[in-house]
DNA sequence: TTAATATGTCAATAAAACTGACTTAACGGA
DNA sequence: TCCGTTAAGTCAGTTTTATTGACATATTAA
């Protein structure tokens, strides 16, 4: 890594190194972050997509299919396969929207809630440990940097417009 | 979301919310982070795996196949397909190890370097913008939190033992 | 009434990964 | 020198995950 002399001579190298470390931190953290849930998902014959669906439905009870699609940014068909499984196996419940009866509002069943807790537990523990170790001030910095990487649309989700920034629907 | 009264009454809810926001920040940031390179990869008929291989070979010139496998944590067969393509199309060069002639040391060709720069450019810009916006102090916090999420093994890569913490081999 | 929307489904692919067994070449210690 | 181990590569078959594009149904809203 850059020592002090390098720092004086070539400040651009440091910057480049700093950015590349950022790239790698993101890669390693995400790889491990998903890995801790993957083990458990296997036991249910589910994949990461199932986890994501369960997670975001848990976070946004009564979310519509199209809102879920806009979060996950996958195709309708891909969601359909995963969602269909989860509904058939009793993890997710669909109810017809009250204002708009074309919508299918998604919520977790008790069974789904239980699986969600189980799946996310290890991930939460991983983040909790990192937060604790780093301290409150670092956590604030972490949040700032991460938010800075998001597009306008996603940044909104972290405002005060509900957990994931979707207008909640009654159901 | 937690309002002030909730905050007083139920501090655990806030903590839970904080952790979930961490999970989501990671999800959204990583999703967008990979997306900016995906567009470009398509033009070469490459996938994310190709990018990762190119990236880590660029970062660790002369890396061995097995060290690359231990970073990517994919199977030999998966790497083989991707690596084979990159070699055949002239992005990566293999040279026999000098000390250990069983090894195939990997380096990028000029063409490979060019592709790497092109691919990583947008990702670097994304991180650079976030860093700039957040400020140096926040960046330090970001690094601390991210490092805290890594396992012992990966944390070493961010020490002073070469870019990715692998002992470099001559070639 | 009619265009647009929300959802779901069909069929056919594509790609990206996996497993497990096996080969070849080279290393390194006994 | 012999032999077990390691590094790399390959074969065959399979699974997972996602894709595209077309189409059907019910519902909404102008």
Which residues lie across from B21 on neighbouring strands?
Answer: none
Nearest partner of A29 among B43, B86, B22, B19, judged by Cα: B22
The model's pLDDT over A107-162, given as tens digits with 9 standing for 90+, comes to: 999 999 999 999 889 899 999 999 999 999 999 999 999 999 998 888 988 875 44
Contact B130 A148 (CB under 8 A): yes
Contact flag A19-B124 (C-beta cutoff 8 Å): yes
Q: Which structure tokens are listed for A163?
A: 């957990």
CATH fold for the domain made of A37-158: Arc Repressor Mutant, subunit A (1.10.10)
> Cβ A33–B149 below 8 Å, yes or no?
yes
Question: In Å, how far are A156, B81, B144 from B131, measured between CA atoms?
Answer: 19, 36, 14
Per-position DSSP letters for A56-117, written without gaps between them:
HHHHSTTB-HHHHHHHHT--HHHHHHHHHHHHHTTSEEEEE-SS-TT-EEEEE-HHHHHHHH
pLDDT value of position A133: 94
Non-local CB neighbours of B117 within 8 Å, separated by 6+ positions: none
Q: How far apart are CA B93 and CA A20, in angstroms?
A: 22
Which sequence spans correspond to the domains of chain A?
Answer: 37-158
User: What was the pLDDT predicted at B166?
Assistant: 53
Closest CB from B123, B134, B150 relative to A141: B134
- Which residues in chain B, range 62-101, keep a C-beta under 7 Å from any nucleic strand D atom? 64-67, 76-77, 80, 83-84, 94, 97, 100
Q: Is A58 on the interface with B (CB under 8 A)?
A: no
Please identify, in words, the CATH class of the domain defined by B45-137.
Answer: mainly alpha
- Nucleotide of closest approach to B79 (CA, C1'): C17
How do residues B95-136 score in pLDDT, each as one tens digit? 999 999 999 999 999 999 999 999 989 899 999 999 999 999
CB-based contacts of B127, cutoff 8 Å, min separation 6: A19, A22, A23, A26, A149
């Amino acid at each position: 890594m850059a020592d002090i002399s390098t720092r004086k001579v070539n400040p651009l190298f440091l910057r480049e190194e700093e950015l590349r470390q950022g790239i790698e931190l993101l890669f390693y953290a995400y790889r491990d972050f998903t890995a801790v849930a993957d083990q458990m998902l296997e036991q249910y014959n589910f994949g990461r997509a199932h986890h994501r669906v369960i997670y975001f439905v848990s976070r946004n009870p009564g979310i519509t299919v199209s809102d879920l699609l806009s979060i996950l940014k996958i195709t309708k068909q891909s969601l359909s396969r995963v969602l269909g499984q989860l509904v058939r196996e009793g993890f997710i419940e669909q109810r017809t929207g009250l204002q708009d009866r074309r919508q299918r509002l998604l919520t977790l069943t008790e069974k789904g809630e239980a699986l969600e807790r189980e799946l996310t537990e290890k991930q939460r523990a991983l983040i909790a440990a990192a937060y604790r170790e780093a301290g409150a001030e670092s956590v604030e910095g972490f949040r700032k940097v991460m938010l800075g990487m998001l597009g306008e649309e996603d940044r909104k989700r972290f405002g005060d417009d509900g957990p994931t920034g979707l207008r909640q629907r009654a159901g």
